[in-house]
Amino acid sequence: MHTCLGVTTDGLPLGLLDQKVFARKLRTAERRRLDKSNLTPIEEKESFRWLESLEKTKAITGGTRVVTVCDREADMYGLFELSHRL
């Protein structure tokens, strides 16, 4: 489950902004190797959920400034580029 929780700068929880439930598909060793490469389109990678969540959060919050806290899975150029664009 990938959850996006909204909180104020004072730490007051506002609620869930986005939530995605997923299950990993069984993959061969070759597929796992390819998934780690740049050959797989971002839309087919698990980390794409970070981009989806950011887009949904921005749509919900409108003009509110959003600060996103992520784990290391979100350390990818596409997320930084999308954040800058939004």
User: pLDDT tens digits, residue range 2-59?
Assistant: 899 999 989 999 999 999 998 887 878 887 777 666 677 888 888 899 999 999 999 9
Q: What is the pLDDT of residue 23?
A: 85
Q: What is the pLDDT of residue 85?
A: 92
Region 60-84 average pLDDT: 89
CA distances to 12, 33, 53, 54, 78 from 48, in Å: 28, 17, 9, 10, 9
Strand residues in 8-73 grouped as ranges (E):
13-20
Q: What is the pLDDT of residue 30?
A: 82
Please tell me the pTM assigned to this model.
0.74
Round to whole Å and give the CA distance between 83 and 55.
9
